[in-house]
Amino acid sequence: MALQKTIPKETGIDHSLDLLREGYMFIPNRRHSFQQDLFATRLLGQRAVCMGGKEAAEIFYDETKFKRSSAAPKRVQKTLFGEKGVQTLDGKEHRHRKQMFMSLMEPEQLELLHTITYKHLDLMTTDWEKESSMVMYEEAKKLMTRVACEWAGIPLWASELDKRAKDLGTLIESSVSMGVQYRKGKNARKRSENWMKDLIAQVRNKERNPEEDTALYTIAWHRDLQGKLLEPDVAAVELLNIIRPIVAIAIYISFTTLALHQFPEQKYKLEESEGEYYQLFVQEVRRYYPFFPFAGARVKEDFTWRGYHFKKGMLTLLDLYGTNHDVHLWENPDKFYPERFTDWEGSPFDFIPQGGGNHYLGHRCAGEWVTIQVMKVVLDYLVNRLDYHVPLQDLSFSMVSMPSIPKSGIKLSKVEKV
């Protein structure tokens, strides 16, 4: 029998505060000091294993080894994710619900998203031209709220835009927070879920008839494996699981704008490219900048990996940011170098900004193609259709606060269409 090894363990009663203090670097710092892809610690008052790297991602997404029920902390469910949504399901029930999400991601729907994004971006730019300056992150949240609602079949009055964009932004910004900010997050979720519940009820009463291939229609009429419509609160959580993360793309839009400024040589490469460099650039933005730090699951049944014992029920975190910056997987990982993706083999386990594995069968982000599509439209617009100036400002972003958002929000002045 192979020798059982002990998972390297950090001492101390609990390291939740260290996690908050070190943010994106909490897992990479310890993987580095233990010189191992995994280590044991204590988080939220319980034993937890943290791991990273391609092989760790491969086992993390093996559903015979890990499950998601009771994995996401209640705090994160009360703000970011909501309760009883697809993130918490396992097995057949998960696959059936996930299919509902993936049915919205067909090429025609992505094409429509392209058209909608371009339309709203072009309209909003007309307003930006009239102002002496604008803050990209704030404007991008409003842009993406408009895009998300139109694409999902959700009516949005001009008068409610600011309020809805603010609430959706708060859900994202308060996902890892305490005190006042956490309470703001909980309230924003209440209001947003009520908004979604009313719409679902209107569709079910036939007072509202959205197009069949929209998220509103699909989620309102989705039937579970027992043939029952989703409970109204669950349908609301799932509809928000579409529009909230579309608004979260505002963070990647801000990082895209930052990358064009920080690495000006990239702008020339994009201007001269026939289009394929756009894909490489967007992938590199998603790899390089910090966004979703780690994913969480629980051990389903006892198993052994590389001689280490994983005990049933143990909380396990997979290092997403650290895997995207792993020196064993990426040459000069801290260099912004889109060309690295020319030779990338396309493994579902080494480049995991939005999770790994299979979109249909596992918990990998349902909206990865949506994210890439939107980022490309905005990137093309910034490079080829807009002139702007980046005034002096604090362009730093935190490696501690999660999610990280450029501090200034990226202020632009003298915005003009070309």
Task: State which residue, 27 or 383, has the beta carbon closest to ligand MYR.
Answer: 27
> 241 with 86: CB under 8 angstroms?
yes
Backbone dihedral angles phi then psi of residue 407, each to the nearest 5 degrees: -55, -45
> 380 with 273: CB under 8 angstroms?
no
Q: How far is CA 94 from the centre of its chain?
A: 19
234 three-state secondary structure:
helix
Q: Which residues contact 372 (CB under 8 A, 6 or more apart)?
A: 279, 282, 283, 286
Judged by beta carbon distances under 5 to 8 A according to partner kind, the member of ligand HEM, ligand MYR, none in contact with residue 101 is ligand HEM
For residue 317, state whether it binds ligand HEM (rule: CB under 6 A): no
Judged by beta carbon distances under 5 to 8 A according to partner kind, the member of ligand MYR, ligand HEM, none in contact with residue 321 is none
CB atoms within 10 A of CB 110: 16
For residue 67, state whether it binds ligand MYR (rule: CB under 6 A): no
Task: State which residue, 72 or 390, has the beta carbon closest to ligand MYR.
Answer: 72
CA angle 232, 92, 315 (to 5 degrees): 90
CB of 236 to ligand MYR, least distance (A): 15
Pairing of strands 133-135, 411-417: antiparallel
Residue of 28, 355, 406, 409 that binds ligand HEM (CB under 6 A): 355
> 282 with 256: CB under 8 angstroms?
yes
Task: State which residue, 59 or 295, has the beta carbon closest to ligand MYR.
Answer: 295
* Footprint (CB under 6 A) of ligand HEM, residues 143-172: none
Judged by beta carbon distances under 5 to 8 A according to partner kind, the member of ligand MYR, ligand HEM, none in contact with residue 370 is ligand HEM
For residue 245, state whether it binds ligand MYR (rule: CB under 6 A): yes
Backbone dihedral angles phi then psi of residue 181, each to the nearest 5 degrees: -65, -40
For residue 140, state whether it binds ligand MYR (rule: CB under 6 A): no
Q: Is 35 exposed, middle or buried (0-12, 13-18, 19+ CB in 10 A)?
A: exposed
The annotation status of 365 as a binding-site residue, yes or no, is yes
Which residues of the chain form contacts with ligand MYR (CB under 6 A)? 72, 76, 80, 172, 175-176, 244-245, 248, 292-293, 295-296, 402-403
Which residues participate in the annotated binding site for heme?
Answer: 365
Q: Which residues bind ligand HEM (CB under 6 A)?
A: 86-87, 98, 101, 241-242, 245-246, 248-249, 252, 291-292, 295, 320, 353-355, 363-367, 370-371
